[in-house]
Amino acid sequence: MHELGIVFSIIKQVDGIAKKNNASSVKEVTLEIGEVSGIVPKYLTDCWKWAVDNRSEYMKGCELKIIPIKAKSFCESCEQSYDTVTYGKICPYCKSEKTYLLVGKDATIKNIGVTGI
């Protein structure tokens, strides 16, 4: 379960941002998580609930919001984009394997809701 390590990394980043901006506390963090990122949202949420109350100066009780990002691939042969999870590496339009992932692999902090700035 690498989700705990991801949560620790997010907490470290958010704590640093809160400290730098003289925030009293962080009430909410919104993450965009790609469909093929390898992150299991349920595991991330479970780790989050424990970690924010035990590992953070600013984030006790902080809510985690997750925005899922659909994985999309692009075909270099026919220049069409398509749903990666449904079709995989083979383009559904022209059957080419000359494809690459456009979006859906990353996890990004989209928003941090703070109080007391």
| Mean pLDDT across 104-116 | 94
> 12-31 in b/e burial notation, b at 16+ Cβ within 10 A?
eebbeebeeeebebbbebeb
Residue 7, token pair as written in the block = 């949560």
Domain boundaries, the chain: 3-70+104-115
Among 57-61, 62-66, 81-85, which is the least confidently predicted range?
A: 57-61
Measured distance CA(58)–CA(12) in Å, rounded: 10
How are strands ordered across the β-sheet holding 81-83? 81-83, 72-75, 99-103
CA separation (Å) from 14 to 38, 39, 114? 22, 19, 10
pLDDT, one tens digit per residue, over 17-59 is 999 999 999 999 999 999 999 999 999 999 999 999 998 889 9
What H or E segment, with its residue span, contains residue 59? Answer: none
Residue 44 neighbours by CB distance under 10 Å: 22
Q: Enter the CATH code of domain 3-70+104-115.
A: 3.30.2320.50
Q: What percent of the chain has pLDDT over 70?
A: 98
Q: pTM for the complete prediction?
A: 0.86
pLDDT attached to residue 2: 87
